[in-house]
Amino acid sequence: MKVVYFVVAILAVTSSVVSAYDPSPLQDFCVAVKEIDGVFVNGKFCKDPKLVKAEDFFEHVDPANTNNPLGSQVTPVFVDQLPGLNTLGIALARIDFAPKGLNPPHTHPRATEILIVLEGTLYVGFVSSNQDGNRLFTKVLNKGDVFVFPIGLIHFQLNVGYGNAVAIAGLSSQNPGTIIIANALLKATPPISGEVLTKAFQIDQNTLDYLLKQSWYDNN
């Protein structure tokens, strides 16, 4: 009997974990449309299947302009850019880097990310949770190398080569979300209390005032 209870407990836990991710589709496709017309699935309305075209599953991604303070630019291909992704549980992004360009520390609250380098050399890494001691895992990647960033963990990519770099990120959600750590803390609307930030970072108000005046560019 104890074995039965144990199995039931495991099934309950795993089913709750699975429900936290994008649900599996029960139809061939559910192309997202903005109009309020059709079935509402995963936060989007479904286009009438009889009106679906090949273009609904197609998107062209050009190289991005990296002339910005970070020297990088992320071009997302999420459900908002590619309606055919709706209910399929995947997305991707192209990341362009100028020399020394940085995709700053950020998280994807709803997705694991797998990155492949198409050109250049990247120094990449992620930090584990408090539970695991905030350990830093890093690797230098060259063309053809692949690296995985677990769901929800803070991670980054830095171009350490002498030329431009390009990478493609695959994500395990049609809408993974992105939280850039510095921007979220220092550009929140309305602002986070200075008392909170000075105590959190163990800095004085003058240092905080200096940080708050910076541009904190959003490359997504």
From CA 154, how far away is CA 128, in angstroms rounded? 8
Task: Tell whether 155 is in a known binding site.
Answer: yes
* Cβ neighbour number for residue 145 with a 10 Å cutoff: 15
For 63, the token pair is 């190289």
Task: Tell whether 106 is in a known binding site.
Answer: yes
Which residue in 92, 102, 105 sits closest to 171, CA to CA?
92
From CA 153, how far away is CA 109, in angstroms rounded? 8
From CA 146, how far away is CA 128, in angstroms rounded? 19
Phi, psi of 168 (to 5 degrees): -115, 130
Task: Tell whether 108 is in a known binding site.
Answer: yes
> Which residues belong to the annotated binding site for oxalate?
103, 108, 113
> Which residues belong to the annotated binding site?
103, 106, 108, 113, 155
> Which residues belong to the annotated binding site for Mn(2+)?
106, 108, 113, 155
